[in-house]
Amino acid sequence: MSNGGPRARRPTPSRSSVRGAVGDLADEVVETADSLGADRVVVGGRRRSPTGKAVFGSVAQEVMLSAPCPVTFVHETAS
């Protein structure tokens, strides 16, 4: 019997996969997300100085700027 209130939502099953590729990291992640029709990309990283980012670049930043879907960035935690 319904009380007229909002229905409880059931969790939506999610699928995830881990893939490997050879090439420019950011390009490969973006191309794979696009070819799979991904609805989210999760990337991890560590803290770097602005100089380190300028010299070495940031794969995570390039993915966030170029991905065809939302990107979640996860920071490394200090131990």
Confidence of residue 79 (pLDDT cuts 50, 70, 90): low
DSSP secondary structure letter of residue 39? S
Q: So what's the pLDDT on residue 3?
A: 56
**12 is written with which tokens?**
């939506």
Dihedral of CA atoms 64, 70, 75, 76 in degrees, nearest 10, equals -90
* 46, 76 Cβ separation under 8 angstroms: yes
- Is 0.75 surpassed by the pTM of this model? no
Residue corresponding to tokens 């696009």: 34
Residue 9 lies in a domain: no
Where residue 65 sits, what CATH number does that domain have? 3.40.50.620
Q: Across-strand partners of 37?
A: none
Residue 2 lies in a domain: no
Alpha carbons 73 and 17: distance in angstroms, whole number: 17
Residue 13 lies in a domain: no
- Segment 39-54, tens digit of pLDDT: 999 988 777 777 776 6
- Segment 3-34, tens digit of pLDDT: 555 676 776 777 777 877 778 889 999 999 99
Q: So what's the pLDDT on residue 17?
A: 77
